[in-house]
Amino acid sequence: MGAGPAGLAAARILSEHSVSVDVFDQYPRAGGQYWRHAKNEPFPAESFKTTLTSSRLNWLFECSIWQIESEKSGHTIYAIQNGRTIERTYDALLIATGAIERPLPIPGWTLPGVMTAGALQSLIKGQGLIPGERIVVAGSGPFLFPVIESLQKSIQQSSSSNPSSDIRIVGIFEARKLSRWLLNSVGLLLNPEKVIDAMRFLINLKREKLRVTTGRVITSIKDTNSKNVKRISVMPLKGEKVSNNPTGQELDCDVIAISYGFTPDLTIPSILKLKTVNKEDDEIVMVDSNQRSSKLGVWAAGEITGIGGHEIAIREGEIAALDILGKGGSLTSAIRKIDRWRKQIFATGLARVYKVSKRWFEWNADDVVVCRCEEVSRDEIINSFRELGADSVRTSKLFTRAGMGMCQGRLCHRNVQDIARVFGSESTKISRPIGGAVTLGELSD
């Protein structure tokens, strides 16, 4: 399940053996978020091109998996593909459904033109569109780099094909200071190639006369009366809190791309009731060294077992596939496990460097919508704890409807959790009993 880096890496190995494999994905093409590409473009990763055409793999794109039932005879996937019901039973499942981007609620973040960094990336890479002329990229974490890079590349292309076009990045704000990289010194020592990557990126920025302002966060976005132009306030972040020293700045722009990292998409794991653990405040699927989950016949790989990026995801997918083939103890697997370990040290360090402040909801005294679907605000959520007796994300949600809307808490669960923590609440496990889009009509067939 999932044709991103982890799923494809597993499929590549499985396709070399005589097993029959179905690959499910909700999008029309393989690649996941990392190798997102436009319809007419070649697949971005050369080493997977033969995998995509392998006759041993059966691709099920644009599939919405809404339910999985496990019995002795196997795991039955119920999915909808173009209005058609798919019901198939498997001996082994590999879940590689990736992550959900995590933006932080800021007053004004619901205005059109404010989007996740991933959305900007998907428009650039998947649609060949730069959606504005004065663009701000803000948030925290390593994902900002590739977004800025592809934005920059795409701006260059657009100005070379159309000299009158005047698209500019007007601000890049990273919440955390560069000095925090010391927190990942061991990771850097084990992964020296990452230093080269970072240097290359910084040199590139300099050449483009772009500057990343570190230690700054956007604390409000206001609509100006002029067409689609928004005015943002940017303030220094000291530890967990916004400070007024040095004083903040204001800036006009039309597109604001925000990202504070990712949170694992536990929709499918929650349907299968896989055991999860907490890592850096994220709920992740618990797996053993061979990527086996708590359920017999179910493996998990990639971001759902901990946010780490595509390189770890590839290793995990490979390790899972080898174990599915009964080669979990092989040398090939052992080599991959060592590499996974090395990269995981780096990823864990990275999570420390770019740790999201748990008190983001105190950055601005003004109330802010937290659940975008049901339009539930921070103060309503706080009120449910203070006045109504909510004691967890689950009960707060039943009172306020935060997380009960169309997205089923995909965007707000993690953020409501941060607010709940202030009231002594333990984390609520993610529960999304219906995995994907399905209509009553499709269920009635």
Partner 1 sequence: MKPLRTEVVIIGAGIVGAMCAYYVNRAGLKAIVIDRGTVASGTTGAGEGNIMVSDKSPGPELELALKSRDMWFEVAQDLGNEFELVAKGGLAVSRGDASSLFELSNSQSVAGVQTKRVGASEIQELEPFISKAIQNGVHYPQDAQCQPMLAAAHILRQLQRRGLEFIGHQEVLKIERKSENLTVRTSTLEIQSDFVVNAAGTWAGEIARLAGSELPIMPRRGFILVTAPLPKYVNHKVYDSDYVDNVASSDADLQTSTVIEGTQSGTILIGASRERVGFDKSISVSVIQRLARQATSLFPILAGAQLLRVYNGFRPYSPDHLPVIGADSLIPGLYHCAGHEGAGIGLSAGSGKVIAQLIKNEIPIVNPEPFSPARFQMAYL
Partner 2 sequence: MKHFKFDDENIPFHDGESVAAALLRAGKWRFRETRKTKEDRSLFCGIGHCFDCIVVVNGEINQRACLLEADEKLSIRKQLGVN
Binding stretches for partner 1 (CB under 8 A):
66-67, 69, 76, 78, 273, 374, 387-392, 394-395, 398-399, 401, 404-406, 408, 432-434, 437-441, 443-444
Which one of partner 2, partner 1, none is in contact with 196 (Cβ closer than 5 to 8 A by kind)? none
184: its two tokens: 């990942």
Could you tell me if 205 and 212 are in contact, meaning their C-beta atoms sit under 8 angstroms apart?
A: yes
Choose from partner 2, partner 1, none: what does 66 bind? Cβ within 5-8 Å by kind: partner 1
Residue 111's binding partner out of partner 2, partner 1, none, with CB under 5 to 8 Å set by partner kind: partner 2
Amino acid identity, position 375: E
Q: State how far the Cα of 359 lies from the Cα of 361, in Å rounded to an integer.
A: 5
The full DSSP string for 287-302 is --TT-B-SSTTEEE-G
Closer of 325 and 398 to partner 1 (Cβ): 398
Return the residue of 186, 406, 422, 443 that touches partner 2, per CB under 8 A.
Answer: 406
Any contact of residue 42 with partner 2 (CB under 8 A)? no
- The residue (of 230 and 355) whose beta carbon lies closer to partner 2 is 230
List 121, 219, 392, 417, residue binding partner 2 (CB under 8 A): 121
Nearer to partner 2, 33 or 357 (CB): 33
| Least spacing, CB of residue 66 vs partner 1, in Å | 8
Applying CB under 8 A, the span of 245-253, 351-359, 367-375, 386-394 interacting with partner 2 comes to 367-375
Amino acid, single-letter form, for residue 65? I
Query: Distance between CA atoms of 174 and 141, rounded to whole angstroms?
Result: 8
SS3 call for 231 = strand
Does 282 participate in binding partner 2 (rule CB under 8 A)? no
CA 246 to chain CA centroid, nearest Å:
32
**Residue 434 near which of partner 1, partner 2, none (CB within 5-8 Å, type-dependent):** partner 1
Does 146 interact with partner 2 (rule: CB under 8 A)?
no
Which one of residues 47, 89, 110, 179 is an interface residue with partner 2 (CB under 8 A)? 110
What is the rounded distance in angstroms from the CA atom of residue 377 to the CA atom of residue 394? 16
Phi, psi of 75 (to 5 degrees): -105, 125
The answer to whether residue 15 forms part of the interface with partner 2 (CB under 8 A) is no
Q: How far apart are CA 263 and CA 411, in angstroms?
A: 9
Tell me the CA distances in angstroms from 245 to 23, 216, 221, 241, 248, one per residue in order: 53, 11, 20, 11, 8
Q: How far is CA 6 from the centre of its chain?
A: 14
From 111, 178, 182, 422, residue interacting with partner 2 (rule: CB under 8 A)? 111
> Which one of partner 1, partner 2, none is in contact with 121 (Cβ closer than 5 to 8 A by kind)?
partner 2
**In angstroms, how far is CA 223 from the centroid of its own chain?**
27
State yes or no: residue 128 binds partner 2 (CB under 8 A). Answer: yes
Nearer to partner 1 among residue 120 and residue 371 (C-beta): 371
**Interactions with partner 2, residue window 207-236 (CB under 8 A):** 228
The one among 74, 131, 146, 297 contacting partner 2 by CB under 8 A: 131
Shortest distance, position 310 Cβ to partner 2, whole Å: 16
By the 8 A CB rule, do 78 and 12 touch? Answer: no
Told to check if 53 binds partner 2 by CB under 8 A, we report no
- The answer to the question of residue 373 lying near partner 2 (CB under 8 A) is yes
Tell me the C-alpha distance between 417 and 291, whole Å: 27
Q: How far is the CB of 117 from partner 2 (least distance, A)?
A: 10
String marking each residue 66-105 x if it binds partner 2 according to CB under 8 A: ----------------------------------xx----
CA angle 317-323-329, nearest 5°?
120
Name, in order, each residue with C-beta under 8 angstroms of 415's C-beta and a sequence gap of 6 or more: 102, 104, 105, 360, 361, 370
Question: Applying CB under 8 A, which of residues 74, 88, 126, 442 lies at the interface with partner 2?
Answer: 126
For residue 405, the minimal CB distance to partner 2 (Å) is 7
CA distance 10 to 24: 13
* Residue 122 within binding range of partner 2, rule CB under 8 A: yes
List C-alpha distances in Å: 129 to 39, 124, 145, 404. Answer: 14, 5, 18, 32
Q: Looking at beta carbons only, is 57 or 373 nearer to partner 1?
A: 373
Give Cα separations from 68 to 76, 216, 391, 434 (angstroms): 5, 44, 30, 10
Considering beta carbons, is residue 300 or 376 the nearer one to partner 2? 376
Contact residues toward partner 2 (CB under 8 A) are 26-28, 33, 38-40, 100-101, 110-116, 118-123, 126-129, 131, 228, 372-375, 405-407, 410-411
